[in-house]
Structure 1
Amino acid sequence: MNMMGDLPATRIHYCVCDDRAVFLDVERDRYFCLPSRLNQAFVRTVIDGDAMSGADAERLRALGIERPAPGEFAARPDRHAMPIREIGPSDRTSLVLRASAAHWLVRSRLRRWRFARLLAHERHRAPRRTHYASDQAFAELHAAFRRASLWMGESDQCLARSIAFRMLAFRLGLAPTLVLGVKLDPFAAHCWVQSEDCVANDSSERVRCFTPIFVL
């Protein structure tokens, strides 16, 4: 069972991957899991609706996690379904320089800014104008960022590249979603851009391995 939620008062987001809770602390820029017994109590509370003991609630609070609402997922629809389609690249050379500049800007900010500041900055971004989000428009962006990666690099760039992709998409009047996902055994995190049920800058085969923990 895979699902996600958030604790907005503490800026901690979480998902449940195969009965294990994974947390993203935006303020401290870190992922973490709970000890086995506390994890079981947390998962039983948010999924099965079991009452949590005061002792377990205190242990969670010490980690910055407020007591979760019992059974909070029972009536919650899956608002961020995994994509079932992907958009292949379609070349448009004029976008490559803009993609490179956007990638460079975000990578520079990631070095200078705290993660929470960067997300707060992006949270207030809005499309300059809006129009129909065609697959062709996303395909051209996808191709531009793929070509830009030849000199911007690929390794460990999914976060910077995806934030830059979303930023440039907004400038073009599109409004896709930024998604951070995690997987376990071994732990890994990944970031991609999604438009409704379609992954816009990655492959559906790759992102399918990750459970969304944060969306923007």
Structure 2
Amino acid sequence: MFAVLADDVRLAWCDGDAVFLKAGDYICVPRRHAVALADAINGKPIAETGAVLTELREQGLLAWRDERLPPRAAVIVAASDLGDVARREPAGLRDYAHLLIAALYVPLQLIRRRPEAWLRYLPPQALTPRGTPEQLARRFLRLRGLIPASGRCLPASLLLINFLRLGGIAADLVIGVRTHPFEAHCWVETGGKVLNDEICYCRSFSPIFVWRGAARMDPDPAA
């Protein structure tokens, strides 16, 4: 028997610790137990990995399978950001309208606890882009102060995802975690570029959930 992640469970490794994400809750496994977990996830038979796996299974974080699954590919954080964020793109009336429409979707998204469910409620994506992702992101940064609570990472990132879609751009939503102390953070990226944060800060987090809006329209689990 081999251990695999249970359905809708995500896993990230942070400086030797393991962090699970399940239904909006984070569960940390300290490094003294994470070794057995890593062995199991990497294909070592359950009988050789210790009793800690049984407890994780009882919590609904792991499941048993008869066959070994191939390891998931590592998630790589984007390579760059917008650089000088003070350089803002001029915004027009349509950008103001798109910001307000984008903001209407955010409460509908946040009322759900599961990250997968946030992105089932999206504005329609325009067929023709109204600029590059960088241009639209700079317009967004110019305007987002008009929306209350848009400074927090999750509402701001969902707001940007919605704004970009209305402007004809699909982007990825990334949630990352780190430990000692525990912290979660999210940001938006596309084409290898972070659109609403600094790359050096995002690289201090291990991705645990990635929604590949730029590639397809369903959630993609982080490795």
What are the superposed Cα offsets for residues 141-181 of structure 1, whole Å, 9 maximum, x if unpaired? 32233233434356861111111211221222211111001
Q: Does 1:202 align with 2:201?
A: no
Which of 39, 56, 68 does residue 60 from structure 1 map onto? 56
Task: Give the CA deviation at 1:42.
Answer: 0.5
**What secondary structure does 2:185 align onto?**
strand
The aligned amino acid for 2:90 is: R
Deviates more, 1:38-47 or 1:206-215: 38-47
- Give distance in 1, aligned partners of 2:167 and 2:149: 24
Q: What's the counterpart of residue 98 of structure 1?
A: 98
Aligned to 1:83: 78
Aligned partner letter, 1:92: P
Question: What residue is the counterpart of 2:108 in the other structure?
Answer: 109
Note if contact 2:18-2:30 (Cα within 8 Å) is conserved in structure 1: no
Amino acid at match of 1:56: V
Residues 98, 147 of structure 1: CA spacing in aligned structure 2 closer, same or farther, 3 A cutoff? same
Letter in 2 for 1:91: E
Supply the RMSD in Å over aligned alpha carbons: 3.1
| Aligned equivalent of 2:12, options 15, 33, 43 | 15
C-alpha distance after superposition, 1:77-99 (max 9, x if no partner): 33x31111112454132224532
Number of equivalenced pairs: 199
Residues 109 and 119, structure 2, Cα contact 8 Å, conserved in 1: no
- Of 154, 160, 164, which residue of structure 2 is paired with 1:159? 154
Change beyond 3 A, Cα 1:191–1:202: same
Matches of 1:155 and 1:187, distance apart in 2: 23
8 Å CA contact retained: 2:140, 2:160: yes
Q: CA deviation at 1:63?
A: 1.2
User: Is residue 178–residue 191 contact of structure 1 (8 Å, CA) maintained in 2?
Assistant: yes
Task: Say if 1:96 and 1:144, in contact at 8 Å, map to a contact too.
Answer: no
Give yes or no for the alignment of 1:145 onto 2:144. Answer: no
Secondary structure in structure 1 of the residue aligned to 2:19: strand
Extract unaligned runs of 5+ from structure 1.
1-5
* Aligned partners of 2:5 and 2:63 also within 8 Å: no
What TM-score comes out, normalization by structure 2 length?
0.73
Which stretches in structure 2 are left out of the alignment for 5+ residues?
212-223
User: Which amino acid is the alignment partner of residue 77 of structure 2?
Assistant: M
Q: CA 1:42 to 1:137, structure 2 compared with 1: closer, same or farther past 3 Å?
A: same
Which amino acid in structure 1 is aligned with residue 193 of structure 2?
C
1:93 and 1:68 mapped to 2: Cα distance?
A: 53
**Residue 137 (structure 1) shift:** 2.3
Quick one: distance in 1 between partners of 2:108 and 2:134? 26
Q: CA deviation at 1:56?
A: 3.2
Q: TM-score with structure 1 length normalisation? A: 0.75
Give the deviation of 1:57 after TM superposition.
3.2
1:193, distance to aligned residue in structure 2 (A): 0.8
Q: What residue number does 1:51 align with?
A: 45
